[in-house]
A = this chain, B = another copy of it.
């Protein structure tokens, strides 16, 4: 297998993009990535999208998007793993370039979520849970993560305030990200007093509904010299699944798919949690970031809450997490999120993150999660 590097990334400002279709949104970010890389064609494309059939009445998306991108006959593939679709598209593009099949692969992700009503969007998202056993009972994602939060609080003493600190930190970071959907700070008091969604989670504990796309260009590491931009090497890739339903798991206070995917990525990269300079993780709800920060080995089980409260995960802390603003502030167009984590990581590792630059960043980790942890994809990237 060949070493693989990222030599271009792109994403537009995310939000409610009502004047644009799903194809417009995707092509906008894909062209930014191709322009960044300095390429006018690609050999193949992987697109992560969770549910374009329900959100946008359009399956067979890769055929639409390849054509609209001006690359009409390439091998193009849509992959889906709920909210981990983008991370999985990135993994498959890595695999294709590593295997020698392609020399220029585009990994993209897109979701256009605001063209249907909020209740329809809630239904669409719920199809990422176990619809036969969870969905049929009426539970949706805030409820599933609320159960995990209650279990974590019960076992470890995690507090309502600690959850709030995750949102406060991510909004503080996102306020410096011009592409974030909600680029403004919030306070602990605002989070705690915001409207209840599923106890103990309030609206400011939840990531939003978003339209957006993101893209990255992957090439063999030994061909980076042929391109205009510095390459960042993909040194670890891990992917794991778990029981989709919470009732099928041994322990609600951790997310095993995140731990397993992380372990596989660390092993491939030859790195440990202490080697990571910053991480973009899947904070679909504040409790998710706390649990994942433990599952990835940044903190001992039960210490994720105190870490968030102490500033250990803030800019300048022991391990800055979600310097982009995370899903919470940047937005969460579900299929695009995993690729957007890569976009932030590459820009940071190239030293181009402006006001939110992590000093001397050389190794980044991205963790993208599907559903309530039924799937997870982790990547580790390093400056070449």
Residues of chain A whose beta carbon lies under 8 Å from any beta carbon of chain B: 1, 21, 23, 50-51, 53-54, 56-64, 66-67, 72-82, 88, 92, 95-96, 98-101, 124, 127-132, 135, 239-244, 248, 256-257, 260, 370-371, 374-375
Contact = CB atoms under 8 A, between A and B. Distances in A.
Contacts of A129: 60
A60 B82 contact: yes
A130 B242 CA distance: 35
A243 B98 contact: no
8 contacts: A57-B135, A59-B127, A62-B80, A62-B81, A63-B375, A74-B240, A78-B80, A95-B96
Contacts of A21: 132
Taken together, the copies of this chain in the complex come to: 2
A100 B239 CA distance: 15
A74 B264 CA distance: 11
A146 B95 CA distance: 39
Nearest to A370: B60
Contacts of A257: 73
A67 B99 contact: no
B74 A60 contact: no
A100 B248 CA distance: 31
A3 B39 CA distance: 31
A88 to B, nearest CB: 6
B54 A82 contact: no
B53 A124 contact: yes
Given A58-B131, A79-B77, A370 B63 contact: yes
A101 B63 CA distance: 27
Given A53-B53, A81-B78, A99-B1, A248 B127 contact: no
A79 B51 CA distance: 12
Contacts of A124: 53, 59
B131 A57 contact: yes
Contacts of A73: 240-242, 256-257, 260
Among A100, A132, A135, A248, chain B packs the most CB atoms within 10 A around the CB of A132
A82 B99 contact: no
A75 B50 CA distance: 17
B76 A79 contact: no
B58 A50 contact: no
A160 to B, nearest CB: 29
A99 B2 CA distance: 9
